[in-house]
Structure 1
Amino acid sequence: MNSRQAQEMLMLYRPGMDDAQDPQFAEALALIKDDPELAEWFVQHCATYVAIRGKLRQIAVPAGLKEQILSEQKAHRTNVWWRRPALLAAAAVVALLIGIASVWLQPPGQDSFSAYRRMMVRTALRTGYTMDLETNDLKQIRAYLAQRNAPADYVLPQPLEKAQGTGCVALTWHGKPVSMVCFRSGEPLGPGIKSELFLFAIDRSGVSGAPPGKAPQFTQVSKLMTAGWSQGEKVYLVAASGDESFVRKFQ
């Protein structure tokens, strides 16, 4: 089960009513421990559910409703429900709450920055040392990416310009080209690992909800700390093995 499947399952979870040990939810709930974004969404989901449930409980049952229903059943008469002001008001409240919930609880768009960030981190963890091109020449990396129609006019933060490049990968995200440039930070690496610092660049049009400016937004995703920002017509993402203070060194 991946994060998106877990989110779809947890949308059915009713806090305070469903058993967290139920196999239907247990696997999805277990993923929350290792996925900060999923955990944040789940907290919002539970809070929204509790709030909506509380509002529904506050809706007063129209006076005489029970007697009216029983009376109509006996008389076999049909009464148009929307002509009853009390029921109409209650229905309006329910419709409003459902509308709010549909906005609050809907999964993030598949082309959202958070989804893009998760996928790039997975790519880094999976292909960090199986690059399309292996070289420490940053100019050669740009040339190769340009040949592959991947973004090559990216702007490297000054610390990354001085870092040792190790290669690159030309990727796609929902049909949009992405450049992945791999670096070494200078820290000791484990056996067989060639890179632990990665930069991703994509055109702004390729991802929604990206950070609006140059101020980086830091988020831990799986085993990597990330920093995302926008500059010019590009959206940038740096991912590295380390904490926020470590990643800040390369901004």
Structure 2
Amino acid sequence: MNREEARLELDATTLRPQDASPEARAMAESDPELGAWLTKRTAFDEQVADVFAASIPAGLRESILQNARKPAKRSMRWILPTLSAAAAAMVLSWTMLWPVNSEMPAWQAESLAAVTKVEYGMMKVDHASHDLEALKKQLIAHHSPAPGRLPGTVGLMPVLACKRIKVDGRPASIICFEIQPGKEAHLVVVDNSGLSGAPPQLKPQFTNSKNWSMASWSDGGQTFLLATTANEAELKKLFGLA
């Protein structure tokens, strides 16, 4: 088995590593590059699986199995396909909407995953307020980072809420702003001490993934990700670049 064969086998079994052959697992342990790729790929697949699991209605599996055990009725031929189609539609919709990809630095992938959950109501905010300073105090009181300074007009957007999260195993924060009517922009703040893949100081990097536009930068000991489903031009205006 060569490295590419092992990679393909490991890629197909990230969520069920016990299904990979001993040879492929041994190669991942002995090959640092392959091992690093597997760790990153597994983390990405687990994030996607968590979102899929959260989006499926509670009890759907049990309902399907319970109905399958009942005596066949004429209407049953419609029930199971309908339930299965509903579950499939949810998975498909999340596949289309989920913006995280395995090419992102781990900190950015984790940040964007949390932002996506907040955006689509799958994760509740901790505090709602139109006062940025009040939200900062809430975050600091709960030992989560609050932004020291923000570039351009980022901090002048109407503020909505905040959420405490973890990124790279360390406390991080999300502050939700309104970038334009009906569109939010979510600012992730994380301590960048030893943070792998942190963006450069005071120079925003702009990227896109699915329907998300993002800017990332560092300022002193903090790293930021500002993500929105508004178009990139609106995002760049905040930095005086459009």
TM interval, shorter chain, is 0.5 to 0.7
1:69-218 alignment runs, 5 A limit:
102=33, 106=37, 114-128=105-119, 130-187=124-181, 189=182, 196-205=184-193, 207-218=195-206
Q: Is contact 1:154–1:201 with CA below 8 Å preserved after alignment?
A: no
The question of whether the paired residues in 1 share the 8 Å contact of 2:107 and 2:196 is answered with no
Contact 2:187–2:225, Cα closer than 8 Å, also in 1: yes
Q: Using the TM superposition, give the Cα deviation of residue 162 of structure 1 relative to its aligned residue in structure 2, in angstroms.
A: 1.4
Name which of 7, 12, 23 aligns with 1:11.
7
Distance 2:129 2:5 in 1: 44
Gaps of 5+ in 1: 1-7, 14-23, 26-97, 190-194
Q: What letter matches 1:123 in structure 2? A: A
One-letter amino acid matched to 2:125: M
Q: Which residue of 2 aligns with 1:29?
A: none
Q: 1:9 to 1:116 in 2, by over 3 A?
A: farther
Deviations along 1:1-57, one digit per CA (max 9) or x if unpaired, are xxxxxxx999328xxxxxxxxxx69xxxxxxxxxxxxxxxxxxxxxxxxxxxxxxxx
Shift of 1:154: 2.8
* In 2, Cα distance between equivalents of 1:173 and 1:244: 24
Shift in Å, 1:164: 0.2
1:203–1:246 CA distance, 2 compared to 1 (3 A) = same
Shift of 1:225: 1.1
Q: Please state how far the C-alpha of 1:243 moved relative to its aligned partner.
A: 2.9
Q: How far off is 1:174 after superposition?
A: 3.2
Give 1:199 deviation, angstroms: 0.6
Structure-1 separation of matches of 2:5 and 2:39: 14
How far apart, in 1, do the equivalents of 2:210 and 2:139 lie? 27
Structure 1 residue 121 displacement after superposition:
1.7
* Alpha-carbon distance, 1:238 to partner: 0.5
State the TM-score, normalized to the length of structure 1.
Answer: 0.53
CA distance in 2, matches of 1:158, 1:204: 21
The size of the alignment, in residue pairs, is 155
Task: Give SS of 1:242's match.
Answer: coil
Conserved in 2, the CA contact under 8 Å of 1:173 and 1:206?
no
Matched, 1:242 2:230: yes
Counterpart CA distance in 1 for 2:216 and 2:177 is 17
* Equivalent pair of 2:107/2:168 in contact (CA under 8 Å): no
Q: TM-score, normalised by structure 2?
A: 0.55
How far the C-alpha of 1:153 sits from its partner, in A, is: 4.4
Q: Quick check: 1:199–1:238 contact (8 Å CA) kept in 2?
A: yes
